[in-house]
Amino acid sequence: MAKRQKLRSEIDDKYKWDLTTIYKTMTDFEKDYNRVVSLIKEFPNNEKNFLKSGKDLLKAINEDLEISRLISKLYMYAHLNSDSDTSNTTFQELKGRISNIESEYSKISAFMIPSLLKEDYSKIEKFYQEEPKLLEHKFNLENIFRYKNHVLTDKEEKIISSFAQVLGNSEEIYDVFTNSDMEFGLVSDGNEEVELTNSSYSKLMKSNNRETRKESFKRLYEVYGSYKNTIAKILVGDVKANVALSEVKNYPSALEASLFADNIQKEVYDNLIKTINNNLEPLYHYYDLKKQMLNLDEMHLYDTYVSVIDENTKEYSFDEAKDLVIKALSVLGDTYIKDLNKAFDEHWIDIYPNKGKVSGAYSSGSYDTNPFVLLNFDGTLDSVSTLAHELGHSMHSYYSRHNNSYQYSEYKIFVAEVASTVNELLLANYLLNNSSDKKLKLVVLNNLLDTFKGTIYRQVMFAEFEKKIYELEEKKQVLTHELLSNIYYELNKKYFGSNVVVDDLIRYEWMRIPHFYYNFYVYKYATGLSSACHIVQRILNKEENAVSNYLEFLKSGGSNYPLEELKIAGVDMTKKEVVESAINMFRDYLKEFEELYKEQ
């Protein structure tokens, strides 16, 4: 008999997050809601005067920040309550109300940045002298003026804006086509016929039945291949749109246009690809070892995802998970652990699944709330690791918000996965160094190796593919489905090496990667893990000031550009040593895994 999922009301309050710390009552919520509605109505009064003096500019900025801060707090209350139980229509309605006023305010306040960029920055510098408090916003104002050479006339910007939805339509068309219109039929999983979909494919590729893997691989990519003309047109349309926008907005390339927001130099992207290309041998060794462990004469691409290690069956209580995480992170010092314990003592965490609760896990919050963690804890080792990961996000947010004024309290996406990955790596190292269970160690090492393979090597292969096709488009090369497929096939041959059979159908895999519509995003996965590895190695090697430097990085929030913030933690992403430190960690884990496996 299937076990019934508990209702929200049946979960003990001690296992739920305490959202009354945001608003104790709906009366309190409505009070802030009414205030922000009133502020939004008054805000347009700034349009005519906010650039007349430093005092006027400061007034407009402070009012903008107050509105933004209130909306963020209101939304967080509605969003977290709604995710706790999506069947609760009260909070669905609240979310809708907040989204509506946020959209309204976005339109009302849209005059600010274009108006600023019509001015010369020297005018703002005079305002600093008139109104010294304006200097508190200097970094943000300087960052806005970085865009001055890339902003067109009002008429031109309006034309581009009117085409924004069309220019960004490729991803939506791709998603609908690949997820709704494409069908892949049925495959046998060894016991029964199951439907092959983009979602089920990943699970089927981990099947211990080789015929299931082979048939799933063959069927999926044959279907994709039959739509090669259509999908190539969709992707090439997206590439052309991004290249055209970068050209009209005076960027040297589409890549540099994408990197501009985070003030990332092109050399960081190029350095990442070059360093990985120079360090493919550990990956080849990983596949050679896997081939031996699977006892295969030939290793095909459809064999590379199957696990060579039985899953860890040990179940952990939440208290055990908490204890493991705290012990693993104790290397970060007493202050960090004292602050971390607030997550448990002050009910930041919603622990167990219940009917209507959203799936997965995340860390969320705003400047005026605690960082909150949503879990669906199920007692597996993965759940323990997820707890460590999400608490990494939460502690990063906690330190960012407690050490910066509101305008500098949010860190950039470029560094968003660093703290969470540091926590995961510290947990894994703790388990490896403090467990006598060799089977558990093999599981931990196997998971780490899969992480490095997927997050660094695979994402860099994607990043290299993106770079190549954009460069060809910028050289006015005609991008056909055949050219795209050939480039992708050759990259697979390079990244998998000569001892893996690179099946011809893999040339169509680029068609099923939605990240190629995210405009040079995938490299951030690799830089994030590389940064975390470098930080963890410094901490575990007890390098001077490694911990204090890392904590200072967590406190930096959005007060500087991401590369400068990472330097605080001893990470210089312009140097190959950072990426090499991740490769060295991968190599060490692989050696430990191989030795332990041979013992077993």
Mean pLDDT of the chain, nearest integer = 96
**Percent of the chain's residues with pLDDT above 70:** 100
Position 467 scores a pLDDT of 98
Q: Which long-range contacts (CB under 8 A, 24 or more apart) does 221-226 make?
A: 221/505, 221/506, 221/508, 221/509, 222/505, 223/182, 223/183, 223/184, 223/185, 224/182, 224/508, 224/509, 224/511, 224/512, 225/505, 225/507, 225/508, 225/511
Q: Are 181 and 234 in contact (CB under 8 A)?
A: no
pLDDT in tens, 375-430: 999 999 999 999 999 999 999 999 999 999 999 999 999 999 999 999 999 999 99
- The residues, ordered by sequence, that sit 6+ positions from 402 with a Cβ below 8 Å of its Cβ are 555
**C-alpha to C-alpha distance for 511 and 200, rounded to whole angstroms:** 17
**C-alpha to C-alpha distance for 266 and 260, rounded to whole angstroms:** 9
- DSSP of 229-294: HHHHHHHHHHHHHHHHHHHHTT-S-HHHHHHHTTT--HHHHHHHHHHHHTT-HHHHHHHHHHHHHT
Same domain, 444 and 536: yes
pLDDT in tens, 149-158: 999 888 888 8
**C-alpha to C-alpha distance for 412 and 456, rounded to whole angstroms:** 20
238 located within any domain? yes
**C-alpha to C-alpha distance for 522 and 417, rounded to whole angstroms:** 13
358 located within any domain? yes
Segment 532-540 shows an average pLDDT of 98
Same domain, 50 and 96: yes
198 located within any domain? no
15-29, 146-160, 354-368, 476-490, range with the lowest pLDDT: 146-160
Q: Are 290 and 304 in contact (CB under 8 A)?
A: yes
Q: Are 317 and 329 in contact (CB under 8 A)?
A: no
Same domain, 479 and 366: no
Position 312 scores a pLDDT of 73
Same domain, 258 and 362: no
64-68, 104-108, 470-474, range with the lowest pLDDT: 104-108
Residue 473 has pLDDT above 70, yes or no: yes
Same domain, 475 and 501: yes
Residue 345 has pLDDT above 70, yes or no: yes
Segment 522-549 shows an average pLDDT of 97
Same domain, 64 and 102: yes
Burial pattern 399-429, b for ≥16 Cβ within 10 A else e, equals: bbbebbebbbbbbbebbbbbbbbbbbbbbbb
> What CATH number corresponds to the domain at position 482?
1.10.1370.20
Residue count (the chain)? 600
Position 310 scores a pLDDT of 84
Q: Which two tokens stand for residue 454?
A: 């997927």
Position 304 scores a pLDDT of 97
Position 455 scores a pLDDT of 97
Residue 19 has pLDDT above 90, yes or no: yes
pLDDT in tens, 132-168: 999 999 999 999 999 999 998 888 888 888 787 777 7
Confidence band, pLDDT 50/70/90 cuts, at residue 1: very low
Q: Number of structural domains, the chain?
A: 3
Segment 29-57 shows an average pLDDT of 97
421 located within any domain? no
Same domain, 234 and 374: no
Residues with a catalytic annotation lie at 390
199 located within any domain? no
**C-alpha to C-alpha distance for 91 and 86, rounded to whole angstroms:** 8
β-bridge pairing 362-364 and 186-188: unpaired
- DSSP of 166-177: HHTHHHHHHHHI
The structure tokens 């019509």 sit at 118
pLDDT in tens, 163-220: 877 777 899 999 999 988 999 999 988 788 999 999 899 999 999 999 999 999 999 9
| Residue where a domain terminates, one of 118, 151, 184 | 151
Q: Which domain holds residue 253?
A: 227-307+437-600
**Percent of the chain's residues with pLDDT above 90:** 93
**C-alpha to C-alpha distance for 546 and 557, rounded to whole angstroms:** 18
By C-alpha distance, which of 382, 532, 525 is closest to 457?
525
Same domain, 278 and 330: no
> What CATH number corresponds to the domain at position 33?
1.20.140.70
For the packed helices 54-84 and 26-42, what is the interaxial angle rounded to 10 degrees?
150
34 located within any domain? yes
**C-alpha to C-alpha distance for 272 and 579, rounded to whole angstroms:** 7
| Residue where a domain terminates, one of 359, 387, 404 | 404
